[in-house]
């Protein structure tokens, strides 16, 4: 049996650093949220490529165990987000379209954007994780705290009913009518639990026309259901909430959406979508 490799100085420093991060989060949850006996557990999530998602559990003043969702953001998240947004903008430019995606300049800005956008969605009456606050941990790390939801993404489901799909398109249309543009619609950000939830957000450039932001959101929403419902049915449902002009505008972003690593569909499906959306 091979003996485990001895811990290096780097490993030890990394462990101590993470221990300090957890201690600071426990202090935040105690001082800001009144929790005692706080435990923090990272949540494995392939969908969360821009953060460290955590489940935070503690006791409130009544001795009840309560749960929160915490998202730790730092410099690596910022670099990853910038790279993704840059790729999308370059692709649009190469295809004679205006870049529409923006970037944050710091982890603090990223945390603030997440909090403020979730609050706008929540205040609009659209189910999402209630945002509670965002807090500096130390250095360049920030923590976003939201409601903990018992829900699973549609990416984990092979079936979605027409009624459920109708609700999701209705939520998106309500957001757009209130000039709330998501920027990162994908199967992992549509969650099913006691309600249907719209989660997380991306970022558009300042000054981008609303029509282009809406078109990209709509294209992503249509493509998010491709693993669950027939193409014609999805387009028919989208047409119930959006005009033909809106659908034709969404068709202009299908090529870009197909390049996303978190939304998958074939060229054949893309051609069928283009035919239906443009007619």
Side-by-side strand order, sheet with 141-147: 36-42, 52-59, 65-73, 141-147, 131-138
What was the pLDDT predicted at 48? 44
Give me the residues of the chain with pLDDT under 50, please.
47-49
CATH code at 150-278: 1.10.510
CATH code at 1-73+104-148: 3.30.200.20
Backbone angles phi, psi at 3, to 5 degrees: -70, 145
What was the pLDDT predicted at 140? 86
What was the pLDDT predicted at 17? 81
What was the pLDDT predicted at 39? 96
What was the pLDDT predicted at 47? 46
CA distances from 129 to 46, 94, 151, 202, 257 (A): 19, 37, 10, 15, 25
**Do 1-73+104-148 and 150-278 have matching folds?**
no
- Domains of the chain, residue spans: 1-73+104-148, 150-278
């Amino acid at each position: 049996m091979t003996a485990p490799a001895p811990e290096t100085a780097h490993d030890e420093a990394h462990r101590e650093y993470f221990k300090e991060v957890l201690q600071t989060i426990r202090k935040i949850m105690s001082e800001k949220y009144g929790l005692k006996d706080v435990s923090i557990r990272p949540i494995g999530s392939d969908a969360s490529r821009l953060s460290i998602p955590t489940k935070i559990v503690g006791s409130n003043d009544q001795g009840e165990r309560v749960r929160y969702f915490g998202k730790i953001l730092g410099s690596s998240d910022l670099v990853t987000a910038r790279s993704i947004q840059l790729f999308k903008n370059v692709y649009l430019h190469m295809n004679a379209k205006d870049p529409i995606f923006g970037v944050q300049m710091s982890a603090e800005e990223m945390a603030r954007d997440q909090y403020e956008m979730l609050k706008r969605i929540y205040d609009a009456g659209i189910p999402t994780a209630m945002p509670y606050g965002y807090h500096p941990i130390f250095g360049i790390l920030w923590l976003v705290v939201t409601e903990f939801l018992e829900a699973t993404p549609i990416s984990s489901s092979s079936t979605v009913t027409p009624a459920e799909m109708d609700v999701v398109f209705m939520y998106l249309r309500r957001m757009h009518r209130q000039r709330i543009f998501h920027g990162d619609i994908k199967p992992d950000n549509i969650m099913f639990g006691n309600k249907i939830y719209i989660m997380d957000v991306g970022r558009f450039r300042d000054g981008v026309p609303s029509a282009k932001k809406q078109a990209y959101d709509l294209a992503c929403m249509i493509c998010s259901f491709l693993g669950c419902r027939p193409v014609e049915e999805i387009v028919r449902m989208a047409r119930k909430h959006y005009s033909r002009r809106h659908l034709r505008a969404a068709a202009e972003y299908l090529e870009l959406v197909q390049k996303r690593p978190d939304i998958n569909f074939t060229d054949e499906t893309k051609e069928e979508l283009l035919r239906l959306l443009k007619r």
